[in-house]
A and B are shown apart, each in its own frame.
Chain A
Amino acid sequence: MGNPVLSIEKLTLALPSYADRPQAVNDVSLSIGAGETLCVVGESGSGKSMIAHAVMGLLPTAVKPTGGTIRLGGRDLLSLDPAAMLSVRGREIGMIFQEPMTSLNPVMRIGQQISEMFEAHHVFDRPKRSKRVVELLDEVGLPDPQRIARAYPHELSGGQRQRVMIAMALALEPKLLIADEPTTALDVTTQAQILKLIDRLRRQHGTAVLFITHDFGVVAEIADRIAVLQQGTLVEEGTGTEVLSRPRHEYTRRLLAAVPSLVPPERSKSQPKEPILLVENLEKVYRKRSLFSAGREVKAAENINFTLARGETLGLVGESGSGKSTVGRCCLRLIDPDSGKIELGGLRISDLSTSALRPHRKKIQMIFQDPFASLNPRQTIGRIIADGPIANGVSPEKAFERARELLDLVALSPNAIDRYPHEFSGGQRQRVGIARALALEPDVIVADEAVSALDVSVQAQILTLIKELQERLGLAILFVTHDLRVAAQICDRIAVMQRGRIVECGETAALFANPQHEYTRQLFAAVPGGRRFRNR
């Protein structure tokens, strides 16, 4: 590898005094050659994004570089003044952000936004600029680039917007492209396309790519070399195959082991049990109220039928907008379905009035996605868990006693009962959320993306906990997820949803071995790192 495009040497970034550790990044050295992709992997809080922001000169004011150098083609970026940095950004370094929905200006046409890149750096005259914009849009694989250049961001899908972001980042042919979790907010099928696009472009242009991600599947797809960060320290660096197949550091090994496999584990065939939850012909249509025109209709659930037996886990799998969350929430009557029947233990809860339903709500509980939004920040953990039993007529002393037992059950210290949610990590909060759901001794639990917001190692722990609890308590679980790996590990049966319909439903092992529906096959093919992590 000749001269590296980017070389970071002994970079140390100091955090302000009130942070939980003194350094965001500690003594990290990395280098990327032309046409090479370096993946920086780490869990949340590992400092991986800080490195990207330091290279871009976009560090928060509270974070100060205290040592080391960042050299781009021989120039030290840390010593540049803000004016010099302006010409480096965009011209020499391009950046793609995580959230395609918010990284484009909503009131500017796509073409204008891209040609701003040229304007800012005074390249080309006007006609040349618009010609180049169309070429760029064509290069990132957008259909009908002339039309897209005149479109506004809201007219494009998430994947298309991310393509536009890539076009902008590459407009001036920078030597380095920084991609900070560029596919995390996208669906798997879109993610696969975007990864392919980034890979193709860096080959064509010889761009060095600094790819920040938490997802080992994505890493396996795209990385030439991998750097693993733990708590701001570089623990391992090597080529893709080296790190993925022969990890040297204990932490890397742990992370890799925590990535759920796509092969469903062997399950003992158990006796078919009585169904506890029965859903028939469920329909839900969202209508946008509009004063002047006919409102837009979105069919979130259409002719949904399934049953869930005691002790069974049914996975509801699909991409965003497939209606899987709507169906999950309809079962709890958090959303009222338009029509159809929902029976819970023989009781038709779809027809009950809100007040008639209230005493029966305890039979079906929910685990929410976001461990930070699902706990009331102003209540103690004990209150949060005990509130359910208290609302159902249990005396407060008994409810708090039960809360202690539940904390023990979800492997938290019973002393946590007097503490507030902000004192806990994401995984611990999710345990509290599980304890809250179990406090009412429900028959059915709806888990809506219950592990999607967690780091892989924590995710594995929570999945194990859910499985254990299910075996011990005989719970029926409706597991809503977009993550096929997770679904393979935890579900007995899987229902695949697309645009509000269940397109395929079957035993997990059979479904994975031989998917029937075209869409299911597409989903499986798109899982990042599918080949590498399939047979372990």
Chain B
Amino acid sequence: MNFLKRFIRNRGAVIGLVILLAVMIFAVIGPTLFPQSPWRMVGRPFTAPFTMDRFPLGTDMLGRDIAAGLVHGARVSLLIGVISTIVALLIGVPLGAVAGYAGGFFDDVLMRFTEFFQTIPSFALAIVLVAVLQPSLASIVIAIGVVSWPPVARLVRGEVLSLRSREYVQAAVTIGQSTPRIIFSQVLPNTIAPIIVMGSLMVASAILLESSLSFLGLGDPNLMSWGYMVGAGRTRLLDAWWISFFPGIAIFLTVLALNLTGEGLNDALNPRLARGRK
């Protein structure tokens, strides 16, 4: 059975993928739907949702369109989620590969270094990094990347450790391939499946981290993001619930969709570990 068939058999994964695609489409066509800046005050403050055709999801306390904010926020959230995951992979994968393949002293040093990062609470570290570097898109991406690479390094190291003793890797040694070549052409391609799965789940947690940072006011002040919207509406949660509610739902659905897709990828890429089959 091929990969696609196995993926489609997992209904949750398909639902997740559909939600994810919807979010992505909104993110891409958002600027054409809402060409104006989401920061612009376009209507009366505190317009309740579903009361005016112009503002289907209502307006916030400054009269900004929440629907526009959501769509523009989707871009920011997805962008930060994906880029910071790539940053984390770029740090974690080479580190784990070198530690796993070299073994011995290198392994010990690199893994203690990794553990050092794991002992610091990641959210606290992210706050400090963003605060020190000044809140901006780049600093947020770096902060999220820096706090989320250690699990990647550990995963890759474990995979490489077990692949290193495989016979085809030994065969590559005997035909005289250089060590970097063996790592890149023989070992790493066989770790892709778990890395993809982990990556998809990391995008979800990166979106959550970004939202949390924005909620605390550490987001990029020029970018409308879901976390900022939730944070901005929290003081009026009781009388104007929709200001926080809709971006909250957006975060919830996107993260859920990413997790479902990740699980589906896991089942499809590791058919022998898939649940419910013997």
Task: Using CB atoms, name the residue of chain B closest to A448.
Answer: B167
Q: How far is the CB of B201 from chain A (nearest CB, A)?
A: 23
Given A373-B168, A376-B190, A387:B174 Cβ within 8 A = no
B278 and A374: CB pair below 8 A? no
B170 and A436: CB pair below 8 A? no
Q: Which of A366-381 contact B (CB under 8 A)?
A: 366, 368-370, 373-379
Given A18-B1, A60-B278, A376-B190, A387:B167 Cβ within 8 A = no
A248 contacts B by Cβ under 8 Å: no
Task: Using CB atoms, name the residue of chain B closest to A373.
Answer: B167
B173 contacts A by Cβ under 8 Å: yes
Digitize B178-216: 1 where CB-to-A-CB distance is under 8 Å, 0 elsewhere. 100100011001100000000000000000000000000
A residues less than 8 Å from B185 (CB atoms): 379, 387
B172 contacts A by Cβ under 8 Å: yes
B residues less than 8 Å from A376 (CB atoms): 168, 172, 186, 189-190
B residues less than 8 Å from A358 (CB atoms): 176, 178
A440 contacts B by Cβ under 8 Å: yes
B166 and A387: CB pair below 8 A? no
A374 and B177: CB pair below 8 A? no
Q: How far is the CB of B270 from chain A (nearest CB, A)?
A: 13
A208 contacts B by Cβ under 8 Å: no
A388 and B176: CB pair below 8 A? yes
Complex Cα distance, B78 from A367, in Å, reads 49
A residues less than 8 Å from B177 (CB atoms): 387-388, 391
Q: How large is the interface on A (under 10, 10 to 19, 20 to 34, 35 or more residues)?
A: 20 to 34
A residues less than 8 Å from B166 (CB atoms): 373-374
A366 and B171: CB pair below 8 A? yes
B238 contacts A by Cβ under 8 Å: no
Please list 22 pairs of residues, one from A and one from B, whose beta carbons are closer than 8 Å in the complex, sorted by A's number: A18-B1, A61-B277, A332-B174, A334-B170, A359-B176, A361-B174, A365-B175, A369-B167, A370-B167, A373-B167, A374-B166, A374-B171, A376-B168, A376-B186, A378-B189, A387-B175, A387-B177, A387-B185, A388-B176, A391-B177, A391-B178, A392-B175
Most chain A beta-carbon contacts within 10 A, residue among B166, B174, B185: B174
B residues less than 8 Å from A391 (CB atoms): 175-178, 181
Which A residues form the contact surface with B (CB < 8 A)?
18, 60-62, 332, 334, 358-359, 361-362, 364-366, 368-370, 373-379, 384, 387-388, 391-392, 433, 436, 439-440
Task: Using CB atoms, name the residue of chain A closest to B172.
Answer: A387
Mostly helix, strand, loop or mixed at chain A's interface?
A: loop
A361 and B167: CB pair below 8 A? no
Give the residue of A18, A368, A392 whose beta carbon is less than 8 angstroms from that of B167.
Answer: A368
A388 and B173: CB pair below 8 A? no
A361 and B176: CB pair below 8 A? yes
B175 and A436: CB pair below 8 A? yes
Complex Cα distance, B5 from A18, in Å, reads 12
Complex Cα distance, B168 from A374, in Å, reads 4
Complex Cα distance, B169 from A374, in Å, reads 8
B174 and A365: CB pair below 8 A? yes
Complex Cα distance, B171 from A60, in Å, reads 35
Complex Cα distance, B1 from A251, in Å, reads 32
Complex Cα distance, B177 from A358, in Å, reads 8
A residues less than 8 Å from B170 (CB atoms): 334, 366, 368
A residues less than 8 Å from B1 (CB atoms): 18
Task: Using CB atoms, name the residue of chain A closest to B177.
Answer: A391
Most chain A beta-carbon contacts within 10 A, residue among B170, B173, B175, B176: B175
Complex Cα distance, B189 from A375, in Å, reads 13
A375 and B168: CB pair below 8 A? yes
B residues less than 8 Å from A384 (CB atoms): 168
A residues less than 8 Å from B173 (CB atoms): 334, 361
Complex Cα distance, B186 from A361, in Å, reads 18
Task: Using CB atoms, name the residue of chain A closest to B190.
Answer: A378
